[in-house]
Structure 1
């Protein structure tokens, strides 16, 4: 158990790696600035680039003796139109425009849409959105070979622009062939979480879980209206959730996104599943050295809602100031969590389940910690369940998650409030208490006569067996390790 840095906040920061953050020196700066989880975006970069970034992260992990969580985000299906004569065309409001399966260049009246699944799914009255919603069309007639539309909002349409079908559930496989290859590649490398893009229904999650076979946790990205409608079943099937506001804001009225975000965050918290809010959190800092006031408020509001993590995408992947943007989010998080309203909001929105011994122990740990000024809650966990339940409670006291498995420690790093430590295996509760005291002192969570809480399960090495809670004074004689 080596000393490691710890953050002065509960919420975690996810940083996306890319061309602007591709070197060991830059990634190290980002880590020291406050990045807890690093995202490998499989939409960009080849396998060699991904492997190089993975190697840098695992070497940093060894250098700082701190588990680093890695999220591999799969690209998912990309729906795009074909090419145009002269590379583009202009569509006018009210005109008729057609999509078909004919592989020839498009013009002002038609273009190829090489996705038969769309033709099989759309119906009269459905909307089609082009280029992230810049153009919108309404279907007036659809067959398996041709979709006739009226242009609602016109503009320039050009080669290979993205197509969104917000009103349709498309019969697409949950993973493309590229996704399947990427999934196997990153699992062999060793990542902790997989981001599943464009989830439409629960079976999409189940299909990917079968392929994963427990090698990583699965985060369902909620970016389709159909996913919002069946969110309760999707979160049941998933290990975590990402509120991907970019595509969600394209396929839904933009004013509908904030209340949906709040509902998804609340449900995720109730279920004890980690939830990430993503997209355009600090967009202006792609170029600017400081965020806008609106961006600061956006990040702070997500933190007030109790999210596990906020995610930076282009800001750190291609932005001019990756380290600065992470430091900015870190400062916002620390200041927000100092506000008395922060924990008041968390407490009024808490809906803890006390069913079962493990649930009852973690609820009690939070209540005891809040009432007698405990400095830290130390929980021993093997598969991660105890620490996940402790995180769900959102206690005021910090939480140290102690585990003998580095894989568990890495995965738990995503969860709110958890400081994860890889420790030696224990077979007696006394040894667990001794390790907890050592960790609390070593990582500067407690000192002197401070009290800590230790929770664990006996017999040890039995997942889900949490059944002991003890309040411990650091003055107790546990110095002999």
Structure 2
């Protein structure tokens, strides 16, 4: 199944899209990988969804990635005697460790880590920022605040802490149980870690996963922005999670942060996903707003690896239409006359390594000679990532003996992954590459391709060779 676009589409599964027939429709419409939201999926449902995705994969003959998104710490206030109370700006309101029902002066906060971490002057945002409080006095057992903005608070509303670094780790007990269940399946390709604040959060999870899945850090906290270079280095990919990020930071700052994160990931050669409310109106409407189309287009112009659908595909009325629309926007933008220039202007300088030099040369040769495709043999995925980092104008085919590698690369910009045996010698390597390019409809007899690989063949991380070949009339190499 050939995609006529470079950016990938990540679709969330849910009540509207959990059946196998619907998953296949979403894949055929353009979804390259699927997200299972562990905030809502039980372990049994997760295993069922994985089985259905793999059945679709077997029928379609294309590697499909699976992302399990951990819930992370959900911070909420307790309950009120009257369910909801009215507040006034300027009044005092206390959050404490007393589990009695709340009133207009106080409420239970069942999170000792917040009580221990908040300092005087820190902001507490309730219910996605509808109520803003400023901490005045903190003693580890209660937080006395002043109401800055907002007029009401009700049962179990969420708490955001834009100014506070929590002392507790990022994994909750639920996350640990979910992560164990994900790893036990041995069939999930990516795990997304919610509410990352510091590099130590990733180090803890890395020790648990031990390379069995790719680790995607969700950037939705101001503290993560302060440590972004270290977080990118320790993660395998990033997600710009604009929902919570837009609560904890000024909304007008989010577009600039999105650009910053995309460019930082491109410099590092790490995939980056842009998420949240991209086609929000399509939850209940068959077409998006003009502003939403522009939002998706901006992410494509910036060179994001993937764009994500959340409720649009999980619980909306038009999941297939949402995927089709996102794919159509991406294809159209990538054909814009200005698109290559924008992508080129953002291209990072190659690192001083042989692998980067080879990837740079492959792109330059392919574009100069107008070759049909860049073909890279990759066991671990590193060669594919470096080829994608260059953002070439020609298609990239990643050939790998590992289905796990091919699935993981499904989130990477421009990657068309094919699972194939390792080449036995140089002639087999060239012939196999030409044949696959022709079979996958990226080239025809007489077209030329450029092939990158490592010699000795099958050596991970040893990309050190380029070869130009043309496709013969029998689909084999003509050289």
TM-score range, shorter chain: over 0.9
Given that 1:354 and 1:363 are in contact with CA atoms closer than 8 Å, whether structure 2 keeps it comes out as no
1:444 Cα deviation from its structure 2 partner: 0.7
Match of 2:462 among 455, 462, 465: 465
Q: Say which SS state the counterpart of residue 411 (structure 2) adopts.
A: coil
Given that 1:352 and 1:363 are in contact with CA atoms closer than 8 Å, whether structure 2 keeps it comes out as no
1:91 Cα deviation from its structure 2 partner: 1.4
Establish whether residue 205 from structure 1 lines up as the match of residue 238 from structure 2.
no
Give 2:445's aligned residue.
448
Match of 1:154 among 123, 137, 150: 150
1:354 Cα deviation from its structure 2 partner: 4.1
User: How many Å separate the matches in 1 of 2:474 and 2:274?
Assistant: 44
Give 2:112's aligned residue.
116
Establish whether residue 385 from structure 1 lines up as the match of residue 382 from structure 2.
yes
Give 2:179's aligned residue.
183
Give 2:170's aligned residue.
174
Superposed, which structure 2 residues align to 1:227-376 within 5 Å? 227-376=224-373
Give 1:104's aligned residue.
100
User: How many Å separate the matches in 1 of 2:285 and 2:189?
Assistant: 32
Following TM superposition, where does structure 1 have runs of at least 4 consecutive aligned residues deviating by more than 4 angstroms? none
Q: Which moved more, 1:352-361 or 1:234-243?
A: 352-361
1:156 Cα deviation from its structure 2 partner: 2.4
Unmatched runs of 5 consecutive residues or more in structure 1: none
User: How many Å separate the matches in 2 of 1:476 and 1:19?
Assistant: 49
Q: Which moved more, 1:343-352 or 1:328-337?
A: 343-352
Q: Say which SS state the counterpart of residue 188 (structure 2) adopts.
A: coil
1:478 Cα deviation from its structure 2 partner: 6.5
What is the root-mean-square deviation in Å for CA atoms of aligned residues? 1.1
Give TM-score scaled by structure 1 length: 0.98
1:122 Cα deviation from its structure 2 partner: 1.1
User: How many Å separate the matches in 1 of 2:445 and 2:434?
Assistant: 11
Q: Which moved more, 1:283-292 or 1:120-129?
A: 120-129
User: How many Å separate the matches in 2 of 1:174 and 1:285?
Assistant: 32
Q: Which moved more, 1:192-201 or 1:456-465?
A: 456-465
Q: Which moved more, 1:153-162 or 1:248-257?
A: 153-162
Give 1:19's aligned residue.
15
1:396 Cα deviation from its structure 2 partner: 0.2
Establish whether residue 28 from structure 1 lines up as the match of residue 28 from structure 2.
no
1:448 Cα deviation from its structure 2 partner: 2.3
User: How many Å separate the matches in 1 of 2:169 and 2:424?
Assistant: 46
Unmatched runs of 5 consecutive residues or more in structure 2: none
Given that 1:245 and 1:278 are in contact with CA atoms closer than 8 Å, whether structure 2 keeps it comes out as yes
Given that 1:101 and 1:146 are in contact with CA atoms closer than 8 Å, whether structure 2 keeps it comes out as yes
1:420 Cα deviation from its structure 2 partner: 0.3
Establish whether residue 71 from structure 1 lines up as the match of residue 52 from structure 2.
no
